[in-house]
């Protein structure tokens, strides 16, 4: 079915225009023209066009079932999902626009003034509005003066708006607020995170346009003044001795791109992008002999949360949901200024809407290239001298989002043996805290004189709408257990691999266990593999701490998805995000913990596997002033999906030396290895 879908686009590339209308694949992100048309239609229905803003504009994707019908030849309407926010009244409205017919087919006012509340994401223009509101506030200016800043220095202060969290305070309920913290800067290019202003937090009501609450806590902690800048121009003594390293692909890359579709080394998929998730992989399939076999219908990271573990005024409420509260896609880096990838790169430019609903193109938002990844397999047969080694090539599809102080990379890797990997890269600048001279920071690590970094956690949630061999899929849990001594274990060497089907979604909210090597298999019980079982992929997770905030805390309830490593739900197009639709200023309880209350069957069903993973970060001097990359992620590996090593058909590198029986093996068994 997927191949039929793909055939359509091959004949009709992204830019094809037919009878005045662009023919597009149903999963292509909205074009500039479609964004403009959708926003114009919606704006025309707004109470005030001048006050109408567009925090979310994206493709309303067809369901898996609709796509299959499309594969059968039916045309699918192109739909846009548009959320508007009236910046004077605060009213937020969801719209679905039928672009072909030029009409709004659905309109729903969000009930966000009633519990459990929830606001559309913070828009970039609100970052600037927040700073203006804070700097105009007499109370905040007085708090700055109390910390010894002159009027001139106050103008240089950096105000960081932070999604607010929620604690059921009167000024939070149903309000569109952010909490703002402040940093001293000696000049506009100074790294403000070296100079946190402790004890001052302004709650800014973005609709009322005023500071709704101000914390100005005692005792006054002096602002750390030591400069910690990291720009190249600040480094008088850069490290020497690094010779150029060039990656050359004289015949070009091995992938083929057609619009948003990619083919590489037996893999085929479509690239998508949304304002909330950023990069999306659609319809990931692998060509296995004559068969194109589907693996994943849709894969993305739908949420993140970063809860902080310091109880003091500047930090206790910090718990940014970077996808749902800001938008990882909205904050994607345009890589036109220099990309971090080496080799022959293909960039995808992504059309997007600004907060006024004006379309623009995020240049080079997605980067795709190939990498050499060492050895994929190798053997030296010492008896006959047969030496075979193959290098691993992987395809990297990635983007980077900068969310305030932190920078997150999302790197999907496809391998030639059928492995799929997601690696997130965490870098940028840590949140900091001013520490009283002579004291040591209690709630994290010291990173410099009078400067600490609060301990925190980063959680990601990947949503994997599975489609192993295109049919019903089932999830099973496995672990290793030693077998007691006995007649069937007379030598004590035997251990077992247990197996347990996860039948209903409440049974399937699971925690990783490194000690038992717990893993999960997603299989298709309707298909028989080469050894009489079911074709499957294994979810390989890294056991890591889950949400450590207390049961009953707001952050735990708001970020409930981070209380389990694995969740499985039957596919429901309304259940798109691990934290629910509108986590911003939301009271909690939405997302995965709510979805699974239905306790639906997930046995041989159209299922979504959700995986929470992350990093618990105790700050250290090495994290400052800019932190080397920390990694988190997972892999999906074929387990009985293929009849053998899927990379067994790889040819040796062209310049490899053949070492066969009789050739001299110089020194050791590594001779003949070629590193291309
Ligand atoms: Cu961190």
Look at 62-71, 326-335, 416-425, 445-454 and tell me which has the smallest mean pLDDT. 62-71
The Cα–Cα gap between 241 and 224 comes to 35
- Bridge partners (DSSP) listed for residue 181: 160
Q: Is 334 a residue whose pLDDT tops 90?
A: no
**Rounded Cα–Cα distance for residues 374 and 637 (Å):** 18
Tens of pLDDT along 73-111? 567 899 999 999 999 999 999 999 999 999 999 999 999
pLDDT at 582 over 90: yes
Buried-exposed string 518-555: b where 16+ CB fall within 10 A, e elsewhere: bbbbbbbbebebeeeebbbbbbbbeebebbebeeebbb
Task: Please identify which of the residues 190, 205, 322, 606 carries the catalytic annotation.
Answer: 322
284 — pLDDT class (breaks 50, 70, 90): very high
The answer on pLDDT for 19 being more than 50 is no
CA distance 535 to 540: 16
Residue 427 CA to ligand 1 centre (angstroms): 8
Residues 6+ apart with CB under 8 A from 183: 157, 158, 160, 192, 193, 195, 196, 197
Collapsing DSSP states into helix, strand and coil, what is residue 58?
Answer: strand
**Selection from 625, 580, 572, 628 nearest residue 601 by Cα:** 572
Contact 539, 633 (CB under 8 A): no
Q: Is 413 helix (H, G, I), strand (E, B) or coil?
A: strand
CA distances from 178 to 129, 173, 211, 644 (A): 11, 12, 10, 54
Q: What is the pLDDT of residues 253-264, one digit of tens each?
A: 999 999 999 999
Gap between the Cα atoms of 421 and 407, Å rounded: 20
Structure tokens at 651: 């040819």
State the pTM of this model.
0.93
Question: Does the N-terminal peptide bond of residue 162 adopt cis geometry, omega within 30 degrees of 0?
Answer: no
Measuring CA to CA, which residue among 413, 437, 604, 623 is closest to residue 525? Answer: 604
* pLDDT interval class at 665 (50, 70, 90): very low
Which tens digits make up the pLDDT trace of 515-533? 999 999 999 999 999 999 9
Mean pLDDT, the chain, as a whole number? 93
pLDDT value of position 666:
44
pLDDT tens-digit series, residues 362-378 = 999 999 999 999 999 99
Distance 308 CA to ligand 1 centre (A): 9
Q: 35 C-alpha vs ligand 1 centroid, how far in Å?
A: 35
For the cut 80, the answer to whether the pLDDT of residue 601 exceeds it is: yes
Structure tokens at 494: 């035997």
- The model's confidence at residue 503, banded by pLDDT at 50, 70 and 90, is very high
- In angstroms, the CA 455 to CA 569 distance is 32
Determine whether 322 is an active site residue.
yes
Give the relative orientation of helices 2-11 and 64-71 as an angle to the nearest 10 degrees: 60
Mean per-residue pLDDT, 291-314: 98
Vertex 158, ends 156 and 161: CA angle to 5°? 150
Gap between the Cα atoms of 414 and 271, Å rounded: 13
Ligand 1 centroid to 458 CA: how many Å?
6
Q: Residues with Cβ < 8 Å from 626, sequence gap 6 or more?
A: 230, 427, 428, 429
pLDDT at 338: 63
Q: Tokens for 167?
A: 């604690």
**623 Cα–ligand 1 center, Å:** 9
Dihedral of alpha carbons 320, 321, 325, 331, sign: positive
% of the chain exceeding 70 in pLDDT? 92
Compute, in angstroms, the gap from residue 627 CA to the centroid of ligand 1: 9
**Per-residue pLDDT tens over the stretch 129-153:** 999 999 999 999 999 999 999 999 9
Question: Cα angle vertex 297, ends 640, 257, to 5°?
Answer: 100
Cβ atoms of 554 and 165 within 8 Å: the answer is: yes
DSSP-derived secondary structure for 381-404:
ETTTTEEEEEEEEEEEEEEEEEET
Residues in the chain: 676
At 654, the pLDDT band (50, 70, 90 cuts) reads: confident
CA of 382 to the centre of ligand 1 (A): 48
The Å distance, Cα 446 to ligand 1 centre, comes to 14
Taking the centre of ligand 1 as the mean of its atom positions, its distance from the CA of residue 531, in whole angstroms, is: 45
What per-residue confidence (pLDDT) applies to 342?
Answer: 82
Q: Across residues 544-571, what is the average pLDDT?
A: 97
Contact 339, 499 (CB under 8 A): no
The pLDDT value recorded for residue 337 is 57
SS3 annotation, 178-238:
EEEEEECCCCCCCCHHHCECCCEEEEEECCCCEEEEEEECCCCCCCCCCCCCCCHHHCCCC
C-alpha closest to that of 546 among 627, 477, 460, 476: 460
Q: Is residue 618 helix, strand or coil? A: coil
pLDDT in tens, 150-172: 999 999 999 999 999 999 999 99
pLDDT at position 672, please?
41
pLDDT for 603 equals 98
pLDDT range class, residue 305, cuts 50, 70, 90 = very high
Is residue 535 a contact partner of residue 522, using CB atoms and an 8 Å limit?
no
- For residue 431, how far is its CA from the centre of ligand 1 (angstroms)? 8
Q: pLDDT tens digits for 92-101?
A: 999 999 999 9
Collapsing DSSP to helix, strand or coil, 33 comes out as helix
- Say how many Å lie between the CA of residue 529 and the centre of ligand 1: 43
Longest dimension (CA), the chain: 87
Q: Are 298 and 67 in contact (CB under 8 A)?
A: no
Catalytic residue among 193, 308, 406, 415: 406
Could you tell me the distance, in angstroms and rounded to a whole number, from the CA of residue 608 to the centre of ligand 1? 28
Say whether pLDDT at 589 is over 90.
yes
- Enumerate the β-bridge partners of residue 215: 201
- Ligand 1 centroid to 400 CA: how many Å? 16
381: β partners: 386
Smallest CA-to-CA distance from 631 within 408, 396, 328 is with 408
How much distance in Å is there from the Cα of 453 to the middle of ligand 1?
9
- Quick check: 4 pLDDT over 70? no
Active site residue 406: yes
Write down the number of H helices and E strands in the chain. Answer: 8, 34
Give the chain's radius of gyration (CA, Å).
27
Residue 556 has which token pair?
């735990």
- pLDDT (0 to 100) of residue 658: 52
372 beta partners:
393
């Amino acid at each position: 079915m997927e191949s039929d879908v793909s055939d359509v686009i091959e004949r009709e590339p992204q830019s094809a225009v037919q009878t005045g209308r662009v023919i597009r694949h149903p999963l292509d992100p909205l074009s500039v023209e479609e964004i403009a048309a959708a926003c114009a239609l919606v704006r025309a229905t707004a109470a005030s066009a001048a006050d109408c803003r567009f925090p979310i504009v994206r493709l309303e994707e067809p369901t898996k079932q609709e796509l299959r019908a499309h594969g059968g030849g039916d045309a699918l309407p192109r739909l846009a999902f548009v959320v508007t926010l009236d910046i004077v009244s605060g009213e937020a409205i969801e719209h679905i626009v039928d672009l072909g017919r030029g009409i709004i087919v659905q309109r729903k006012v969000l009930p966000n003034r009633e519990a459990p509340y929830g606001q559309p994401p913070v828009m970039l223009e609100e970052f600037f509005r927040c700073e203006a509101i804070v700097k105009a506030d007499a109370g905040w200016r007085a708090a700055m003066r109390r910390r010894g800043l002159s009027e001139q220095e106050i103008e240089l202060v950096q105000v960081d708006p932070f999604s607010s969290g929620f604690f059921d305070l009167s000024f939070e309920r149903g309000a569109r607020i952010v909490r703002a913290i402040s940093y001293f800067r000696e000049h506009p290019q100074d790294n403000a995170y070296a100079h946190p202003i402790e004890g001052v937090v302004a709650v800014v009501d973005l609709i009322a346009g005023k500071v709704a609450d101000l914390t100005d806590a005692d005792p006054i902690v002096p602002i750390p003044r030591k400069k910690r800048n990291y720009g190249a121009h600040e480094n008088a003594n850069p490290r020497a001795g690094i010779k150029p390293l060039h990656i050359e692909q004289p015949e070009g890359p091995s992938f083929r791109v057609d619009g948003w579709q990619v083919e590489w080394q037996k893999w085929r998929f479509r690239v998508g992008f949304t304002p909330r998730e950023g990069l999306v992989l659609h319809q990931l399939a692998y060509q296995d002999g004559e068969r194109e076999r589907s693996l994943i219908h849709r894969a993305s990271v739908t949420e993140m949360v970063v809860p902080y573990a310091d109880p003091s005024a500047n930090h206790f409420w910090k718990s940014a949901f970077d996808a749902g509260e800001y938008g990882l896609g909205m904050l994607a880096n345009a890589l036109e200024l220099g990309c971090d990838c080496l080799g022959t790169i293909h960039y995808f430019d992504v059309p997007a809407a600004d907060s006024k609903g004006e379309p623009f193109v995020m240049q080079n938002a997605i980067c795709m290239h190939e990498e050499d990844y060492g050895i994929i397999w190798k053997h030296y047969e010492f008896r006959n001298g047969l030496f075979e080694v193959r290098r691993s090539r992987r395809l990297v599809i990635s983007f980077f989002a900068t969310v305030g102080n932190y920078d997150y990379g999302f790197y999907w890797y496809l391998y030639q043996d059928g492995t799929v990997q997601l690696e997130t890269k965490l870098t940028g600048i840590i949140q900091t805290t001013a520490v009283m001279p002579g004291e040591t920071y209690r709630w994290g690590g010291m990173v410099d004189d009078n400067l600490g970094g609060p301990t925190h956690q980063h959680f990601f949630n990947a949503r994997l709408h599975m489609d192993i061999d295109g049919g019903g899929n089932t999830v099973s849990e496995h672990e290793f257990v030693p077998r007691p001594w006995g007649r069937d274990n007379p030598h004590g060497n035997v251990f077992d691999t247990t197996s347990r089907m996860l039948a209903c979604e409440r049974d399937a909210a699971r925690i990783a266990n490194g000690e038992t090597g717990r893993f999960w298999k997603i299989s298709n019980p309707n298909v028989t593999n080469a050894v009489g079982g079911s074709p499957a992929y294994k979810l390989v997770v890294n056991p890591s701490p889950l949400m450590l905030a207390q049961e009953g805390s707001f952050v735990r309830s708001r970020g409930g998805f981070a209380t389990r490593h694995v969740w499985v739900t039957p596919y429901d197009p309304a259940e798109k995000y691990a934290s629910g639709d509108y986590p911003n200023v939301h009271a909690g309880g939405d997302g995965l913990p709510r979805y699974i209350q239905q306790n639906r069957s997930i046995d041989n069903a159209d299922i979504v596997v959700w995986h929470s993973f992350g990093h618990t970060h105790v700050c250290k001097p090495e994290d400052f002033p800019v932190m080397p990359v920390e990694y988190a992620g997972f892999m999906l590996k074929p387990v009985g999906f293929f009849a053998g090593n899927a990379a067994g058909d790889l040819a040796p590198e062209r310049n490899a030396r053949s070492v066969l029986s009789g050739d001299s093996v110089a020194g050791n068994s590594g001779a003949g290895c070629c590193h291309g």
